[in-house]
Amino acid sequence: MYSLFRLRCCSLSEISCDTLVSALKSNPSHLRDLDLRNNNLKDLGVKLLRDLLESPDCRLEKLRLERCRLSEISWAALISALKSNPSHLTDLDLSYNKLQDSVVKLLSDLLESPDCRLETLRLTGCRLSEINCAALISALKSNPSHLRVLDLRNNNLKDSGVKRLCDLLKSPDCRLEKLRLRCCSLSKISCAALISALKSNPSHLRDLDLSHNKLKDSVVKLLSDLLESPDCRLENLGLRSCSLSEISCAALISALKSNPSHLRDLDLSFNINLKDSGVKLLSDLLESPDCRLETLSISIHSLS
């Protein structure tokens, strides 16, 4: 019996998809993880996949459809199927697919369902519009207690999307552990609001990636306050290519040094203003007997 089925980058034809999904549908109760990333499923393949997902015997927990180039009709059919039988699904990856407004509306309905138990939602590079970002995050806010991982990398959230995200993070029911916002074109206002929201409810967050967003000194000050909080349990912090100033680098590392025992992974790559003062503080952090850092990423030219 199978619990994990991976066919990533297999160039499946429409006929192959038909045969495969029909076979899965004939015995669906053991399947837990289905990985079809980088395959062009086309409408017929999605129709059969929809039938599988709608089966009362389906117990699928993880569905990965990154870069599957589905049509708007196919997406609508697929998410409708998930909505009809949502209680087992815990991990959904739709990254690098362009999601139309009608599809995002259905996805929002799925997320709002009281039967939805989704813990991981990956929407990297989905070219979400400002309205769609706001709608999705509002849906997550209405049912936040199960969500643990939210990956919105490479989407332009804009201030309205970040505002909804802040409301989600402030919710006492929010249990988010991983938040990934790399390359989200966050404004100074958005960054400040986001980190203030995280600071109001910091104890669950373990992984924060703000890489490739330009962080101003005022924003880094708030981030430093978050890191210094005795309730902060952050283990992974990604700040790659954040244009940190020398002052910001020093403030961040000082904050980490004041509360070092949880941090395991720190990425400061491609911040050219680390300078000697920042490296000295970083060395002090690494020498601390409480430091548990396992992975440190810095660029060679940052040390010059």
pLDDT reported for residue 21: 64
> H/E/C letters for each residue in 118-181?
CCEEECCCCCCCHHHHHHHHHHHHCCCCCCCEEECCCCCCHHHHHHHHHHHHHCCCCCCCEEEC
pLDDT reported for residue 36: 85
Report residue 135 as tokens.
């709608």
pLDDT reported for residue 9: 45
C-alpha torsion 39→44→45→48, nearest 10: 170
pLDDT reported for residue 10: 45
Is the Cα dihedral 183, 94, 83, 146 positive or negative?
negative
pLDDT reported for residue 47: 77
What single-letter DSSP state applies at residue 274?
A: -
Query: Of 231, 277, 224, 274, which is closest to residue 296 (Cα–Cα)?
Result: 274
pLDDT reported for residue 140: 92
CB 146 within 8 A of CB 173: no
Residue 265 neighbours by CB under 8 Å, 6+ apart: 235, 236, 237, 238, 293, 294, 295
Query: Which domains, ranges and CATH numbers included, belong to the chain?
Result: 1-86 (3.80.10.10), 87-297 (3.80.10.10)
pLDDT reported for residue 14: 59
pLDDT reported for residue 183: 93
Cα separation of the two ends of the chain: 57
pLDDT reported for residue 143: 87
Strand partners, 96: none
pLDDT tens-digit profile, the chain (304 residues) = 445 445 454 455 556 666 666 677 676 667 889 888 887 777 767 777 888 888 888 888 999 999 888 888 888 889 989 988 888 899 999 999 988 888 899 999 999 998 999 999 999 999 888 788 888 988 998 888 899 999 999 998 888 888 889 999 999 899 999 999 999 989 889 999 999 999 988 889 999 999 999 898 999 999 999 999 989 999 999 999 998 888 898 899 889 988 888 999 999 999 878 777 788 888 888 998 889 999 999 875 555 4
E strands present in the chain? 4-6, 33-35, 62-64, 91-93, 120-122, 149-151, 178-180, 207-209, 236-238, 265-267, 295-297
User: Strands 33-35 and 62-64: what pairing?
Assistant: parallel
Is the Cα dihedral 72, 118, 227, 297 positive or negative?
negative
pTM of the model: 0.89
